[in-house]
Amino acid sequence: MEAERDFPLPSLATHLKLARAPDEKGEPVYTLYNPAANAYYKTDWIAFECISRMPFHQTALALKNAVELETTLTISLTDIEN
């Protein structure tokens, strides 16, 4: 059923930077920095794992499979879509 919902992944701008930093509670969070806009975006673990692997995969289903194979996460195509 998920194969029917598969979709192509967009290309990410090459100037984006992804970094890990602790939050106020000391839990890991991730920051996506766009130097062109001088903007920072806080992301969670799922987003970090997906964004860091996006350049290596063409479709959401391939990305989902890679994240689940290479981490302890279980994600959905909706997670990737979001």
The pLDDT tens digits for 10-67 are 999 999 999 887 777 777 789 999 999 999 998 988 999 999 999 999 999 999 999 9
This prediction's pTM: 0.84
Q: Does the pLDDT value for residue 1 go beyond 60?
A: no
Residue 2: what pLDDT? 65
Is 13 exposed, middle or buried (CB count within 10 Å of its CB: 0-12, 13-18, 19+)?
Answer: exposed
Residue 24: what pLDDT? 77
Read off the pLDDT of each residue in 71-76 and give the average, rounded to a whole number: 95
Is 80 exposed, middle or buried (CB count within 10 Å of its CB: 0-12, 13-18, 19+)?
Answer: buried
Residue 23: what pLDDT? 73
Residue 3: what pLDDT? 66
CB 75 within 8 A of CB 64: yes
